[in-house]
Structure formats: C-alpha cells, structure tokens
Amino acid sequence: MGTQPRPKALSEALQEIEGASSPVTGRPTDYPAGWHIKPHAHSKHQLIYAVRGVMVVKAEAGQWVVPPTRAIWMAAGMTHEIRCVGEVHMRSLFVAPGAARTLLAGTQAVAIPPLLRELIRAAMEVPQPYEAASRDGRLMRLILDELHVLPVLPLHLQTPSDPRLLRICESLQQRLDDASTLSDWARSLAVDVKTIQRLFVKQTGMTFGQWRQQARLLRALELLATGEKVIDVALALGYDSPSAFSTMFRKQFGQTPSQFFAQG
C-alpha cells in the first residue's frame, strides 16, 4: 500500500493562493489523519470544505467542528488553524474581497447544498487565470451567486476571555460528562452565581448551560464522524440515554445524527 504524499508546505501554498489574480480560485488538498495546519491568515476569503473527514477549525473568533457536507466561511485576514480528524480531503475556494458586494458577514459555519457541492468539485479543475466570459468564468460567477445564500449553522463555540470563565470552559472540555452546576463552580471560584452567568452571556452569547450543551454537541460531531456509536457517544458526554442525546441533537441541528452525516 503506497504512502500518501505530504501536502505542500504552508508558505508555498500561501504564495500560490495570494498570487492568483482571478476573483475565485479553487484548491484541492488531501491531508493525512491528525494533520495540523498551523495558524495563518489569507488576504482573501476562504470557503473551507472537506468532501471527506472532519476538521476542527480554531480562529480568533472561536472554534468550529466541521463534518462533511458542511464548511467554514473564513473571512479575509482572520488568523486560523485546522486540525484534521481522520483523513481529510479539503476542497477550498478563495474569493477576492472585491469579487462580490455582499458575502457572508464574518467567520461562520455554513451548509453546502448539492448544487454548490458539485460547483466546488468543478472549480477544482478550472485553470488559473480564466477568462470572465468563458465557461469557467460563468461557473465561478455562479459559485459567487450561491455563496450569497448559504445557510448558517450553529457549529460555533465562543471562547471567553475572563480567566474564571476560561478555567470553567477548559475543565468542561476535558470532561464533558461533568455534571457540575453553576453553583458548584461559583463556590469553587468564590464568585457570585449571578456574576458568572452574566459574564457567560456577555462573553459567549450563551448561558452556562447552553455553552456546555454546545461543547458536548461539537465533541459529539467529532466522535460520530470517526465511527463511534450513538449510545457510546451519548454516555461519554453525560447524557442519560441515547434517546436523550438524539433529542438534543435534533433540537440543535434539525436532524438526527444519521441524517446529519448523510452524504448527498
């Protein structure tokens, strides 16, 4: 069995991306399991999409877990890094900031509808540069149209800056089955419960309970994507039963775990 070729060095890849003059550029890259793309930024917007594998994307704006059929819209200039969960086949689009008047505001997770999925695959074969009036140019313009209507998904976990909240969040992420209440943490940190709750909402946009639930769900995405069974994931994350976990998953994502990971 042959070994997988190593991806290009980050500096070399960045030079290629920044040097492309076309409004939209496609770039396919395959990464081995566990590959880490170090912190970097682009002068262009990037749609980070994987046809295979799961990505954990960290940026100044927070953390996202991105399974297949989903993607991250990474705003130009945003420093980010990516950890590959399993083997990842990434198909990225780089969009010049002036290519369209109104694209997605800020960095966020998005769904990839079937039409855009096929357009992304076709874009990987488009040579650079391309003529605007050509078939390739029309294909890339259609991609820009589709980017305007991408549905935003709740795959984001905001990291607080307050050291007390950061201690809570780091502890919970290490033990997501921890059932400690906000009162327990208030006593441990010698802080009023209302103070912690107010800071959680102010710095993360979520209550303590909502943040913990979101952290559990994002971790569940990682585990399910690697083939873990729903019952094992549910118990590992502190849910009373697989049905309780599935109910919460459907409430958050509008689909069961099996539907969420279904390939078009």
At 14-61, the pLDDT tens digits run 666 666 678 999 999 999 988 999 999 999 999 999 988 888 898 877
Below-70 pLDDT ranges, the chain: 1-6, 8-20, 101-102, 262-264
pLDDT of residue 138: 96
Q: Looking at residue 168, what is its pLDDT?
A: 94
- Tokens 């107010």 identify what position? 198
**CB atoms closer than 10 angstroms to residue 39:** 13
CA geometry: angle 51, 41, 155, nearest 5 deg:
50
Given 1.10.150.120, 2.70.70.10, 1.10.10.60, 2.160.10.10, which CATH number is that of 160-260? 1.10.10.60
Where in the sequence of the chain do the CATH 2.60.120.280 domains occur? 10-153
Cα gap 82→249, rounded to integer Å? 24
DSSP-assigned beta bridge partners for residue 51: none
Calpha distance 51→263 (Å, rounded): 9
CB atoms within 10 A of CB 6: 9
Residue count of the chain: 264
The per-residue pLDDT for range 162-184, each reduced to its tens digit, is 999 999 999 998 888 888 899 99
Beta bridge partners of 220: none
Tell me the three state secondary structure of residue 85: strand
Question: What is the b/e burial string over 159-191, where b = at least 16 CB atoms within 10 angstroms of the residue's CB?
Answer: bbebebbeebbeebbeebeeeeebeebbeeeee
Closest to 106 in 3D by CA, of 156, 179, 143 = 156
pLDDT at 60: 78
* Dihedral (Cα; 109, 39, 174, 169), 10-degree rounding: -70
Residue in the structure block whose two tokens are 């109104």? 102
Domain with CATH 1.10.10.60 in the chain: 160-260
* Coil/strand/helix, residue 224: helix
pLDDT of the residue at 2: 44
With beta carbons less than 8 A apart as the criterion, state whether 83 and 66 touch: no
CATH of 10-153, one of 2.40.480.10, 3.40.50.20, 2.60.40.1760, 2.60.120.280: 2.60.120.280
Give the pLDDT confidence score for residue 16 in this predicted structure.
65
Report residue 192 as tokens.
Answer: 């009023």
* Alpha-carbon distance values, 15 to 109, 119, 120, 138 (Å): 26, 24, 21, 26
On whether the CB atoms of residues 42 and 158 are closer than 8 A, the answer is no
Which two three-digit tokens encode residue 201? Answer: 């909402």
